[in-house]
Amino acid sequence: MIRDRASRRLPVIITFLVGLVLTMMPLPDSVDPLRPDWLAMLVIFWAMQLPRTWSVGTAWIVGIVLDVTQGTLLGQHALALCFVAFITVRFHLLMRVFPMPQLTATVLPILAIYQFLLFWINGVAGVDTPSITYWGPVISGTLLWPFVVIILSGMRYRTRAGD
């Protein structure tokens, strides 16, 4: 039983690892400001689909790893991500029945809140805050959201990934 559960959790963990690779992948300077917040999108997806297993705790751990790899304040991404997970879990029943356009429109403010929290913590901590390009990931993340959902849902049913 335990083994069974572990083998179902593995695919989800792999998606987070792939997300981390995508986050750390070097991109040309012109595209870099538009790199979506892959990990935030993954947290939203899994917290929406399986909120009992993947919610604030997972989001926090993912955030700590992100803080280390990005060299930001330890706890910054962790705080922002677990807040994202919280909002998603709170509205997951609603979000599950939303049609895709409406769901995408819901993801936009969540990603915006995520960026705003990071931005705000930077401000409080006195880290130099960058220009308007800071909000690029929100736009690109929203535009890519439908594709992320299609890919992840397909993967979820194929591998029976879950709790």
Chain residues in the site for another protein (CB under 8 A): 17, 20-21, 23-27, 29, 32-33, 35, 50-53, 55-57, 60, 63-65, 68-76, 78-79, 82-83, 86, 89-90, 92-93, 121, 125-128, 130, 134, 162-163
The residue among 49, 40, 58 whose CA lies nearest residue 114 is 40
Question: Using N-to-C axis directions, what is the helix angle for 38-49 and 56-70, rounded to 10°?
Answer: 170
> Shortest distance, CB of residue 87 to another protein, whole angstroms?
10
Task: Identify which of residues 88 and 105 has a Cβ nearer to another protein in the complex.
Answer: 88
Task: Identify which of residues 74 and 151 has a Cβ nearer to another protein in the complex.
Answer: 74
Task: Identify which of residues 83 and 145 has a Cβ nearer to another protein in the complex.
Answer: 83
Task: Identify which of residues 18 and 105 has a Cβ nearer to another protein in the complex.
Answer: 18
> Shortest distance, CB of residue 24 to another protein, whole angstroms?
5
For residue 42, give every residue at least 6 positions away whose Cβ sits within 8 Å of its Cβ, in sequence order, or none.
15, 16, 19, 62, 148, 152
- Burial state string for 55-78 with b = 16 or more CB within 10 A and e = fewer than 16: bbebbbebbbbbbeeeebbeebbb
